[in-house]
A and B are shown apart, each in its own frame.
Chain A
Amino acid sequence: MTARIGVVTFPGSLDDRDTQRAIRLAGAEPVALWHKDKDLKQVDAVVLPGGFSYGDYLRAGAISRFSPVMGSVIEQAKAGLPVLGICNGFQVLTEAHLLPGAMLGNDHLHFICRDQKLRVENASTAWTSDYSEGQEIFIPLKNMDGRYVADEYTLDKLEAEGRVVFRYVVRGEAADGCGNPNGSLRDIAGITNEAGNVVGLMPHPEHATEPLIGTGRTDGLPFFTSILKKLVTA
């Protein structure tokens, strides 16, 4: 039997179907979860997809964080359930304080949509083991509120503990020349919690899982093969 990975749909979620498709492509079974249900249907992992849940009212992720399904996700994530938050899902995870820091509007005040180069900084989380550390990947980025902020103490702690999982490649020879896409501090694109089971990032791996679409590469697929391997060998 393969792993069952839940994908939560909030009112305003956009990428839940693409995420389910990516999970299926990786060989796992996607399970639709509904924001009003506390029941996680005994899934082995959960993905919070991108979109504009609850219209981003108040703050992105602020209202979703109090939805019935999130009560169960928070409780089980603390007990070790693997959880991945993509874009709006990342915002929900910071609002839920499962990940430190917060997401704010892009510093240039524009919506951004482009293919983005990322460097994998941590290939030992539940969701990144099929990457290698230092690997550069190319996946779509599309958001309004993508500016990751945290206080200096938290940023230093994240760096010291290896919890910056992805960084935008904006410096050095490998830089794509487009610069930091949203003003995120220390070019942070994604982070993990202390245990490594909860990961959040702004760019969209689920949109880069088939050669026909997106970047034309499948650089996002290892997210889903990583978690599948972890779950079936566990």
Chain B
Amino acid sequence: MARVVVDVMLKPEILDPQGQAVQRALPRLGFEGISDVRQGKRFELEVDGPVDEAVLARIHDLAESFLANTVIEDFTVKVESDDVVAGAAK
């Protein structure tokens, strides 16, 4: 089984009040020197069977039509290697 990760972020020109609220909270927590925070979404898709180009193309379509709204969001699709998956589970 392989994992495909879709990251979705608001486009840079779109105001992100949630990210701003997080950024404003940072000094209170003793974190200085962070000038901007943008908040996005991460989807982890567990794929049955091998992730070949056809599967990736379908996931790309899924991301473009459903997981992201490309009017306001950008997305990336990445295959996570088994090592990374195993590492994340520790």
A-side interface residues toward B, CB under 8 Å?
58-59, 62, 66, 94-95, 100-102, 104-109, 147, 149-151, 183
Partner of B72 from the list A66, A102, A183 (CB cut-off 8 Å) is A102
Q: Is B69 an interface residue (CB 8 A)?
A: yes
Which residues of chain A are near B14, meaning CB under 8 Å? 104, 149
Q: Closest approach, in angstroms, between the C-beta of B54 and any C-beta of chain A?
A: 22
B-side interface residues toward A, CB under 8 Å?
13-15, 17-18, 21, 66-67, 69, 71-72
Q: Closest approach, in angstroms, between the C-beta of A121 and any C-beta of chain B?
A: 22
Question: Can you give 9 contacting A-B residue pairs, CB < 8 Å?
Answer: A58-B66, A62-B66, A104-B14, A104-B72, A105-B17, A106-B17, A107-B17, A108-B17, A151-B13
In the bound complex, what is the Cα–Cα distance between A107 and B21 (angstroms)? 11
In the bound complex, what is the Cα–Cα distance between A102 and B18 (angstroms)? 17
Which residues of chain A are near B72, meaning CB under 8 Å? 102, 104, 149
Q: Is the interface of A mostly helix, strand, loop or mixed?
A: loop
Q: Closest approach, in angstroms, between the C-beta of B59 and any C-beta of chain A?
A: 16
Q: Is the interface of B mostly helix, strand, loop or mixed?
A: loop
Judge whether A105 and B67 touch: CB under 8 Å: no
Task: Please give me the residue from chain B that is nearest to A59 by CB atom.
Answer: B69
Judge whether A62 and B17 touch: CB under 8 Å: no
Given known pairs A62-B66, A66-B66, A109-B21, the reply for A150 and B15 (CB within 8 Å) is no
Q: Closest approach, in angstroms, between the C-beta of B43 and any C-beta of chain A?
A: 9
In the bound complex, what is the Cα–Cα distance between A108 and B18 (angstroms)? 9
Which residues of chain B are near A183, meaning CB under 8 Å? 15, 17
Judge whether B21 and A102 touch: CB under 8 Å: no
Partner of B18 from the list A66, A101, A109 (CB cut-off 8 Å) is A109
Which residues of chain A are near B66, meaning CB under 8 Å? 58, 62, 66
Which residues of chain A are near B69, meaning CB under 8 Å? 59, 62, 95, 102
Closest 8 CB pairs of A and B: A102-B71, A102-B72, A107-B17, A109-B17, A102-B69, A59-B69, A149-B72, A109-B21
In the bound complex, what is the Cα–Cα distance between A104 and B67 (angstroms)? 15
Which residues of chain B are near A107, meaning CB under 8 Å? 15, 17
In the bound complex, what is the Cα–Cα distance between A147 and B72 (angstroms)? 12
Q: Closest approach, in angstroms, between the C-beta of A188 and any C-beta of chain B?
A: 14
In the bound complex, what is the Cα–Cα distance between A208 and B49 (angstroms)? 55
Which residues of chain B are near A102, meaning CB under 8 Å? 69, 71-72
In the bound complex, what is the Cα–Cα distance between A197 and B21 (angstroms)? 39
Q: Closest approach, in angstroms, between the C-beta of B24 and any C-beta of chain A?
A: 11
In the bound complex, what is the Cα–Cα distance between A149 and B69 (angstroms)? 12
Q: Closest approach, in angstroms, between the C-beta of A180 and any C-beta of chain B?
A: 12
Given contacts A104-B72, A105-B17, A108-B17, 12 further A-B contacts (CB under 8 A): A62-B69, A102-B69, A104-B14, A104-B15, A107-B15, A109-B17, A109-B21, A149-B14, A149-B71, A151-B13, A183-B15, A183-B17
